[in-house]
Chain A
Amino acid sequence: MKKTNNIILETSLKALLFFIVLYSVYIFTAGHYYPGGGFIGGLMTAGAIVLLLITYDIKTVQRILPVNYRIITAIGLLLAIGTSASSLLFHVPFLTHRFTHVELPVLGEISLHTATLFDLGVYFVVVGVTMTIIQTIGEDE
């Protein structure tokens, strides 16, 4: 099959991809205060990769992002369970979060929260799961 020349799509993707990924990271990090969180952030990131898949083919995307998404899922699960279980080390019940406010030189006052690590696990799992499903079905003949 002749490769179609979709230069407009490729070029616009180069501009758009950055914004989509940035937006997904924003949604993830802002989750504790504004609408968003790990789940929707993960879906957005996966959406960005799907856009890559649509523009290029599966092999090219695999070369750009040499990632095994099942391992991403596993990392996400480990992160979520590890965050939850680490509270046991401090003799508090499973899944007890701690937070603190820190004053940083440039960024000003920010809050650090172990729930973010848990949410990061959710984020990884969602990315891994969505991409595993889409990639597996896409590769199927």
Chain B
Amino acid sequence: MSLLHLVIILPLLFSILMIFFKRVQRVHTGWFVLPLPILLFIYFLSLLPVTSSRETVTEAINWIPSLGINFTAKADGLGLLFALLITGIGALVVFYSIYYLDKAKEKLPSFYVYLLLFMGAMLGVVLSDNLIVMYAFWELTSFSSFLLIGYWYDREASRYGAQKSMLITVFGGLAMLGGIILLYIMTGTFSITEIVGNSDQLYQHSLFIPSMLCILLGAFTKSAQFPFYIWLPDAMEAPTPVSAYLHSATMVKAGIYLVARFTPVFGESGFWFWLVGGVGLITLTWGSVFAVKQTDLKGILAFSTVSQLGLIMSLLGVGSAALHYEALDDNIFLVATSAAIFHLINHATFKGSLFMAVGMIDHETGTRDIRKLGGLMPFMPITFTVSIIGAFSMAGLPPFNGFLSKEMFFTGMVRVTEMDIFNLGTWGILFPVIAWIASVFTFLYSMILIFKTFTGNYQPEKLDKKPHEAPLGMLIPPVILVSLVIIFGFFPNLLSDSLISPAMAAVLPSLIGTGEEFMVHISFWHGINIELFMTLGVVVLGIILYRTLPKWKGVYKKIPERFSLFRFYDRLLESSQSGSYRLTSSYMTGSIHSYLVYIFAFFIFILAATLIGQDAFKLDTVNVSSIGIYEWVLALFVVAGSISILFVKSRMTAIILLGAVGYTVSLFYVLFRAPDLALTQLVIETISVALFLVCFYHLPKLRQYETRIRFKLTNALISVGVGAIVTVIALSAHSNKLFDSISQFYVENTYEKAAGQNMVNVILVDFRGFDTLFEITVLAIASLGIYGMIKLRGNGRKEG
């Protein structure tokens, strides 16, 4: 086991240790957890020089080598970028949660167990090279996220949100597993590196599009893309550190990671471009438009996360088009990919800080409702500073890092119009227009987030607590994050060589030769161009819309609730539940009659279909012996007896007729020279008729009235059908004899080998005595069963 493996496993191992901290009451459990992410972060930083020189760290452990499933850990530019985000923000979140969660009131060990499980799972997702191992970690993230959302499990809304996120992400995860298996069928390997290496042969394969759709389904559900984003707003019931960590910085980016990881595999297809780019743009717009409607601070942030994830996703989709322009020396279409990676980092910083700020407001005032909040600036100046930097960065204002990535986003979208592939000549203009509209709304909700909370009227009567500044410990993590926002804003090229360029090399490996590097240069000021005017337009229109907000906000109410996706999900869940209940209760009637009808109807159908389908019916009278007068008479008796059973009124008569049929059968045995059978049949028939009479005698008085069998058409049809089909099969089987009987062996050897002359008995006790052994066991069990049922009945009565 190498150090890289240990790093992935360590959070999982560490979570086991949490049981020992249950005893420690005086020190907050979080202090024991905190060193781990910090150490991991430092370890990942130490790998930076390796990846920035385009090397990768690859370590393998055999897990199930016979199936090609091995725990291969691989740290390249992309994986390392995510690992740094996970451990860095993880450390800040753990620190924040120490002050956020109360030592005495909360079940801290469980919280940190779930959080560590999540951290390890997430590291496993981004650092695994084997798809099956990645899938295992992927599901572990869904699972630990489920536990974290439902952390306050005594709340109805938490349980609802946890269930919803579980259902949606596991649905996507299973689809992804399907995609992985399809990829394995196409390439014969689970290793991402090898799949990327063979990717040029995949395009012609018939499974290419299905596997792509499956993988994208996994990525879209996890990253809350349209229309699967609905779990994210409900996941806001989790404690705020969890929301900050999982639902803004890490887990929701697992889908982004997946899309980036598979860009070299699928990226060259136009389908991928339109699907990833299109869904990203729809999500971006939809999320930003509906974020304006929210009144809960975390609700705004949830929708804003959805929208920003859509932005990154659309950039990745557009960036994949760069694969088609290899010939260009200066591939201007690469900017979309670098913007995606840059915005990924930026979003993690400002969204994390915003969530923490909202957590502080919630913690200090007791509410997150913007209708109750207002005028908090004098009370919480540091929180206000943190929030305004985060929100301005989110809105894309200079001088923060959000401005830079937004400019690059506009650049990427504008360049789509210059592309000449995938019908972009006609439809390409939509990309910058939609992106611009979404940015206006992004600006709008960022302003609402800040100014509705911190300025305006202070309403002390609506607040549970008297607001005051949060404790210092709670302030440190968001302050660190916003300082990063500013540092990356002023010195963006700090990141370009160390992080963005290696990550791009992982996303678009085919575009660079060995030893080359992507030149990523993020300039703060790139002259007066169309992107600058777009930003100006966003600001102007955003301010106008914010000023006139009360006048047009009523528009949201006009959108019928019925068309909301949230409602749709609820109805889907309800109707699938009630529908499956109706379906089950429609055929699981509980009546043996209907089950017998199903069994026999299916029996008729299957046998008739086989007979007709195989053309198996054949009537051959060559081997039929002649029928004598005795056979006719006996057959007449049997038929008459059987038919009259159906029409008699009294049960007694039916039993006696049944006995008559049985005795006639024993006469048949006599006629066909089977004396042993005839003897046994006679005695057994006598005993069973006697037992029938005993049963008859014991019938309850209440239902003893005598009645004929009621005629039912289904019963008649099915019984005639079963009889006919069995007859037809018996005739066909007799006409189709393929080989002679083996009975000649018994005829020759009964005396020679077994010293007997009664062949039946010799077969029963000697040649095939094994059957007899278990038939007598069956008899013994039956008698003990009857004994038990009758003798132990008293106990049942007592209990019942």
Contact = CB atoms under 8 A, between A and B. Distances in A.
B764 A84 contact: no
B580 to A, nearest CB: 45
B571 to A, nearest CB: 57
B683 A129 contact: no
A111 B755 CA distance: 8
B687 to A, nearest CB: 7
Contact of A33 (B683, B691, B758, B783): B758
Nearest to A137: B694
B784 to A, nearest CB: 7
Interface in B727-780: 754-758, 760-762, 764-766, 769-770, 772-773, 776-777, 779-780
Contact of B765 (A37, A47, A77, A140): A37
B669 to A, nearest CB: 11
A140 B791 CA distance: 8
Contact of B683 (A31, A44, A101, A118): A44
A132 B779 CA distance: 11
Interface stretch (B367-375, B421-429, B505-513, B674-682): B674-682
Contacts of A128: 780, 783
Interface in A123-141: 125-126, 128-130, 132-133, 136-137, 140
SS of A interface (majority): helix
B692 to A, nearest CB: 12
Given A35-B675, A43-B684, A125 B780 contact: yes
B786 interface: yes
A37 B676 contact: yes
A95 B758 contact: no
A132 B676 contact: no
A136 B785 CA distance: 11
Nearest to A121: B776
Interface residues of B, number: 35
Contacts of A119: 761, 765
Given A35-B758, A113-B755, A119-B765, A40 B680 contact: yes
Given A32-B761, A125-B779, A132-B786, A39 B680 contact: yes
Given A34-B758, A40-B676, A140 B790 contact: yes
Contacts, number: 122
B776 A80 contact: yes
B602 interface: no
B245 to A, nearest CB: 67
Interface string A87-120: 0000000110101010000000001010100110
A39 B677 CA distance: 11
A123 to B, nearest CB: 10
Given A33-B756, A81-B773, A129 B779 contact: yes
Interface in B646-702: 675-676, 679-680, 683-684, 687, 691, 694
A74 B782 CA distance: 13
Nearest to B756: A32
Contacts of B556: none
B379 interface: no
B770 to A, nearest CB: 6
A132 B691 CA distance: 13
Interface in A4-37: 27, 31-37
Contact of B769 (A27, A35, A73, A84): A84
Given A33-B757, A97-B754, A118 B769 contact: yes
Given A113-B755, A132-B787, A137-B790, A35 B691 contact: no
Contacts of B754: 97, 99, 115
Contact of A43 (B683, B770, B787): B683
Contacts of A115: 754, 756, 762, 765-766, 769
A129 B782 contact: yes
A115 B763 CA distance: 11
A34 to B, nearest CB: 6
B678 to A, nearest CB: 8
Given A31-B758, A129-B783, A136-B787, A97 B766 contact: yes
Given A35-B758, A37-B758, A115-B756, A73 B783 contact: yes
Contacts of A136: 786-787, 790-791
B679 A40 contact: yes
B676 A118 contact: no
A27 B765 CA distance: 15
B780 A32 contact: no
Contacts of A36: 676, 679, 758, 761
A54 to B, nearest CB: 11
A99 B761 CA distance: 15
A128 B784 CA distance: 10
Contact of A77 (B691, B694, B777): B777
Contacts of B760: 35, 37
A98 to B, nearest CB: 10
B776 A133 contact: no
Given A35-B676, A43-B684, A70 B784 contact: yes
A76 B772 CA distance: 12
A136 B680 CA distance: 23
Nearest to B772: A122
A38 B765 contact: yes
Contacts of A76: 776, 780
A35 B679 contact: yes
B287 to A, nearest CB: 74
Contact of A70 (B684, B756, B787): B787
Contact of B764 (A27, A37, A77, A133): A37
A92 B18 CA distance: 62
Interface in B291-323: none
Nearest to A139: B790
Interface of A: 27, 31-40, 43-44, 47, 70, 73-74, 76-77, 80-81, 84, 94-95, 97, 99, 101, 111, 113, 115, 118-119, 121-122, 125-126, 128-130, 132-133, 136-137, 140
Closest 5 CB pairs of A and B: A35-B675, A32-B756, A129-B783, A99-B755, A132-B783
14 contacts: A32-B757, A35-B676, A37-B760, A84-B769, A95-B773, A97-B754, A97-B765, A111-B755, A115-B762, A126-B776, A128-B783, A132-B783, A132-B784, A137-B790
